[in-house]
Structure 1
Amino acid sequence: MDQTCDVVVLGAGSTGENVADIVVRGGLSAVLVEPELVGGECSYWACMPSKALLRGTEVLAEARSVDGAAQAVTGEQDVAATLARRSSFTSHWDDSGQVEWVAGAGIDLLRGTGRLDGERTVVVTAEDGTRTRLTARHAVAVCTGSQSATPPIDGLGDVDSWGPREATSATAVPARLLVLGGGYVGCELATAWQALGSQVTVLQRGDRLLPRLEPQAGNAVAESLRKAGVDVRLGTEVTAARRDGTEVVLTTGDGEEFRGEEVLVATGRAARTSDIGAETVGLEPGEYLSVDATLQAEGRPWLYGVGDVNGRSQLTHMGKYQARQAGAAIVARARGERVGTGSWSPFVATADDVAVPSVVFTDPQVASVGRTAAEAEEAGLPHRVVEYPLGSVAGASLFADGYEGTAIAVVDTEREVLLGMTFVGPAVAELLHAATIAVVGEVPIARLWHAVPAYPTISEIWLRLLETYRG
């Protein structure tokens, strides 16, 4: 079968859905192509189920940290209820609600595996073998995302390991869980499963957890995990894996062995481009798509790489942001309009450069945006680091008895604007957007003095940081 439309979108995750929605709102037609669940990784195997697994632990920790409320907590977390609540947030891995939304938005959905087949052409193979050839008048947007990458460890491919999908959808708590990797996924899921009753061991090759963030963040999370009973091993190089009956055995370079019922591989992500027909348009299968600021593939004005697939910033909210920008650019170009590429153009994704916000939902939470001190140093920017204990702020001491946390500001001393901000502590996620606005808007330090934080809230940390900076 042959079909023509304005835009073909490969991948119906949150990024692809947003690209399709934007172009349809702009008056174009769009076909979404998806071989799995509509809604993608975030809805079923990442953001939503992982945060649902963590939320009960977070609430209990908050209650236990306030005298008076702590006495009311007389039991432990109900594991079955927590797993059931997690499953409710994935709609029990049923995408009918999202399919209904797609139809209501005026977007066509084609179930099957889509592969590029030359310029502006996609061939979709359905589960029953039926093939449909789609031709796009204006654009093909590749939004196929990323997948868990398996490190080159001898035997690891033969032990039936968990990836993030298995770890967020498991229906039973493993007695012992080995976690390979100490990044966002490894730290969050170690926190979740330890709290639900698993004995967790984290094996991190580097010398600290959360290596892309400020050192204080990784140090605080490591300390908290250890207090919770997690065995955190830093500087540990796993060289081999094998099954021994019902156990997985991981062996390090120095011969030490670690055993568990399951092993979660959380060492990184790889572009999901191996089987999308990249070679038919001169691209390398398995590689991230190289794109410009409007998410247009270099040398291919009809092709867009949006979200994880371009490797710029593998976070759901950044994928949605890129989708909005790419969708707007596709619509404008289809109308023959000029697409501006200035820093604040509605058609470009510039936040990816220096203003990516992220939250690690561990205990403590880590919320960050912009450059770290190390990144500012590497970029050769004149800067000063200002640090202040969050527990010294009245709002924090009211939030939790013995509140511990840190706020770290990286200030450009030449332009007197924020380059980056990191918060480490309970419930700091809700502080992040104010910091994001300050970084993106390059709000002068002198003007931030007039953004008065309400008392007594944790946001008073802004005043304390400014006072410290001024000396």
Structure 2
Amino acid sequence: MTDYDLIVIGAGPVGENVADYATKRGVRAAIVEAELVGGECSYWACMPSKALLRSGHAIRAARRLAGAREAVGGALDASAVLARRSSFTDQWRDDGQVAWLESAGIDLIRGRGRLTGPGQVTVDGRTYSARAVALATGSVPVLPDIPGLAAAAPWGTREATAADHVPERLTIIGGGVAGTELAYAFTSLGSRVTVLSRAGLLDREEPFVGEHVAAALAVEGVDVRLGAVPVRVDRDPHGTVRVVLADGTEVLADELLVSTGRRPSTGDLGLDVVGIDPGAVLKVDETMLVAGTDWLYAAGDVNGRALLTHQGKYQARAAGEVIAARLHGHPVADQPWGAHAATADEVAVPRVVFSDPEVAAVGFTEAQARGRGLTVRAVEYDLGQVAGAKLHADGYSGRAKLVVDEDRGVVVGATFVGQDVAELLHAATIAIVGEVPVHRLWHAVPAYPTISEVWLRLLEAYGRPTA
């Protein structure tokens, strides 16, 4: 007799969803958490970062409209923004999340969990047994190997999103999603921000994305330095941080934020006792079952497939259902609706950068599609020429792009950059996941005047199919 049917290590959104979906199907589940129930996204990432951004976005949106701009004056109240941010984290208390676990019938085990054998999890010296174990421990930041960096006590994204003050000068190393978003947040709050990026901003997206975002950051007074390579970091006794670049120039700041990527958190899970090297990339199938096992699952950032909260939750739903099915002895067959498999976390991953302009993309960029050997054709359109966009902002600036697989006649990638484009993304995701033929998209008529009319303009640029 085991203590539980399922033990989940990690109580972030992914772990909660694995446990919840399994519990709803009759599985006795417990969840292990060493920090706050709700995880990174709730307290140090998705929610607080977007709360920090929203007030600045609202002010800038108002200033882009004649009549509204005259009513907007002064600077943001930084203390009010920080207080609003903290309200989204419940002041870094997890009482509400714990209450939800109780209402869902999921046991909470506080402490750091490690595997100590097949189906065995040890938490602070006590060992629990289960028929299945799911790892949902997320990811951890990667600190680049720059002399003096660690000793300079830099902020990571956790320290930035939980900050209780606004530094007068902030330097950010990293031009990815988090670095770009936090540059907007802190310049809105009054910091003088410098962004140091070895390559271009957001360079995993279409080239025009980084160009639009970098230009907009410059307008906000952010010093964006592309091709900047830090070679040394120091913090003096007065707290000033000095970053020395390869070209010999120096950047001084009161705080330094490092946002140079993340890696799956697999280093301290006891994987060696089940024959997996600690820190290894976990190979999973579409049910999230770890290769070489029949009891161990891994969902979310920890498996490295798609390091995004919503994709992790998608994997978690599939994992929770398949775990329950297998524990109840039900066959897990390929079902037409894909209930027991995560099949869309490679070709149709939606992603949003909450910069200003926003960046919304799903599927492949043109370069990625060609790199996979697809025969593609891409079309672009100036979002500033769409009537609905012009209503959102005077002098609206933005761009949209579709990547079409010519052999199948379906969209495999879509990118939008501009104010308020995030809500365009789900339509593109549906088109890609559903493999909707381009000739059928002509019959999905966008309402006028909305920004969604860009779909019609893109189809016109692509051209009607010929018989």
User: What is the TM-score normalised by the length of structure 1?
Assistant: 0.97
Q: Deviations 1:3-24 (Å, cap 9, x if unpaired)?
A: 7100000000000000000010
Q: Distance in 1 between matches of 2:194 and 2:117?
A: 47
- Which one of the candidate residues 128, 135, 158 is aligned to 1:134? 128
Secondary structure of 1:250's counterpart equals strand
Alignment CA distance shift 1:338-1:301 (3 Å): same
Describe the SS at the equivalent of 2:432: helix
Would the aligned equivalents of 2:18 and 2:319 in 1 still touch at CA under 8 Å? yes
Q: Distance in 2 between matches of 1:115 and 1:325?
A: 23
Q: How much has 1:156 moved relative to structure 2?
A: 1.0
Size of the aligned set, in residue pairs, is 463
Q: Report the equivalent of 2:231.
A: 239
On the 8 A contact 1:174/1:262 being kept in 2, the answer is yes
Q: Contact between 2:306 and 2:346, CA under 8 Å: does it hold in 1? A: no
**Corresponding residue for 1:356?**
349
1:80 and 2:73 aligned:
no
In 2, Cα distance between equivalents of 1:376 and 1:240: 38
1:457 aligns with 2:450: yes
How far has the Cα of 1:341 moved from its partner? 4.5
Q: Which residue of structure 1 aligns with residue 100 of structure 2?
A: 101
Q: 1:366 to 1:343 in 2, by over 3 A?
A: farther
Deviations 1:133-181 (A, max 9, x none): 11012x1000000011111111111111100100000010011111110
CA–CA distance in 2 between the matches of 1:223 and 1:403? Answer: 14
Instruction: Give distance in 1, aligned partners of 2:153 and 2:426.
Output: 40
Mapped partners of 2:189, 2:424: distance in 1: 28
> Does the 8 Å CA contact 1:293/1:341 hold for their aligned counterparts?
no
Q: State how far apart, in whole Å, the 1-side matches of 2:251 and 2:333 are.
A: 55
Distance 1:343 1:40 in 2: 33
Alignment of 1:54-453 (within 5 A): 54-125=53-124, 131-137=125-131, 139-206=132-199, 208-245=200-237, 246-341=239-334, 344-453=337-446
Check 1:177–1:254 CA distance in 2 against 1; reply closer, same or farther (3 A cut). Answer: same
Aligned to 1:14: 13
Counterpart-to-counterpart distance in 2, 1:287 and 1:232: 35
TM-score when normalising by structure 2: 0.97
Q: Is residue 3–residue 133 contact of structure 1 (8 Å, CA) maintained in 2?
A: no
Q: Partners in 1 of 2:58 and 2:235 — Cα distance?
A: 37
Deviations 1:271-324 (A, max 9, x none): 212111111111121233111111110001100111000111111101100000
Structure 2 match to 1:128: none
- Give 1:204 deviation, angstroms: 0.6
Query: Secondary structure at the residue paired with 1:367?
Result: strand
Contact map agreement 2:381 2:401 (CA 8 A) in 1: yes
Read off the aligned partner of 2:397 and give its amino acid letter. Answer: E
Q: CA deviation at 1:253?
A: 2.2
Moved over 4 A (4+): 341-344
What 5-or-longer segments of structure 2 have no aligned partner? none
The one-letter code sitting in structure 1 at the alignment partner of 2:221 is G
SS in 2 for 1:352: coil
Structure 1, unpaired ranges of 5+? 126-130
Letter in 2 for 1:237: V
